[in-house]
Amino acid sequence: MSDMQISGLSKVFGGLRATDDVSFHIAPGTVHSIIGPNGAGKTTLLNLMTGIYEPTAGEVTLGGQSLLGKPFHARVAMGLGRTFQTPQICHGMSAIENVMLGSHLGLDGRLLPSMLRLPGIVRGDEACREAAAGWMRYVGLERYLDAEPGAMPYGALKRLEIARALAGKPRLILLDEPAAGLGATEKAELSRLICRLRDEGVTAVLVEHDMKLVMSVSQHVVVLNYGKKLAEGTPDEVSRNPDVIAAYLGRTH
């Protein structure tokens, strides 16, 4: 039984096979990392998972249901959460409102009741505000509740995005380079946060360059090179794989 299944996935841009027959599965409650040198096809793979690209061939399923042909927002409704390499934050809203945005799917979105602020809307809104405050505490942003995103440091914005994704109660969360641009202390914080998510049974997929982070938080690592899957296994197995060392770690080891 797997949460996400990727089978024979390929994406061709003109003559370039950006993703080439990649297959793996993601078991529920685990942290998977996708690594590979620059241009290995990590971002393309992520965009295929979220529906920004449609694959040339292959299949992606979440909880047994096919995701193909569904736009990104519909995949989110099916339980896919995502954060971005550069935090995508709405600057017209306060920090907590950004997190509340993440949970709007489960709430009453009818126009007229919203305009009349009917009791059902108020209840949903207050519950969602409380939950959002909870998620902000969870990621360590409790002091930023009503802050303007423009006044928050970069690392806090990255965690704000994680809080927004979590507020949607995803069954699987994709983290696109969460450590990029963070300082050493923030990276340590992030690593604790991801471990905590893992221990609480959240399924996460991590696309990351920071090998220390990848090796310390993931149960399973998939290595891509030139769009193909080069290797997969536990962090230990992968880091001992000679192909991986040659392709990815070779120069530094």
Tokens found for residue 109: 């979105």
Report in angstroms how near the CB of residue 53 gets to another protein at its nearest.
13
Task: Give the C-alpha separation, 91 to 93, whole Å.
Answer: 5
Give, for 163, the enclosing helix (H) or strand (E): helix 154-167
Cβ-contact 128, 169 below 8 angstroms: no
Report in angstroms how near the CB of residue 117 gets to another protein at its nearest.
4
Task: Give the C-alpha separation, 19 to 228, whole Å.
Answer: 6
* DSSP result, 203-239: EEEEE-S-HHHHHHH-SEEEEEETTEEEEEE-HHHHH
Q: Which residues contact 195 (CB under 8 A, 6 or more apart)?
A: 216, 217
Report in angstroms how near the CB of residue 216 gets to another protein at its nearest.
17
Tell me whether residue 93 or residue 215 sits nearer to another protein (CB atom).
93
Task: Give the C-alpha separation, 5 to 59, whole Å.
Answer: 8
Burial class (CB in 10 A: 0-12, 13-18, 19+), 159: buried
Report in angstroms how near the CB of residue 106 gets to another protein at its nearest.
9
Report in angstroms how near the CB of residue 1 gets to another protein at its nearest.
25
Residues that bind another protein (CB under 8 A): 50, 52, 71-74, 76-77, 81-84, 88-94, 96-97, 100-105, 107-111, 114-117, 121, 124-125, 128-129, 140, 143-148, 151, 153, 155-156, 164-165, 168, 183, 185-186, 189
Tell me whether residue 27 or residue 77 sits nearer to another protein (CB atom).
77
Tell me whether residue 1 or residue 115 sits nearer to another protein (CB atom).
115
Report in angstroms how near the CB of residue 66 gets to another protein at its nearest.
19
Cβ-contact 207, 33 below 8 angstroms: yes
Tell me whether residue 98 or residue 241 sits nearer to another protein (CB atom).
98
Tell me whether residue 75 or residue 220 sits nearer to another protein (CB atom).
75
Tell me whether residue 91 or residue 253 sits nearer to another protein (CB atom).
91
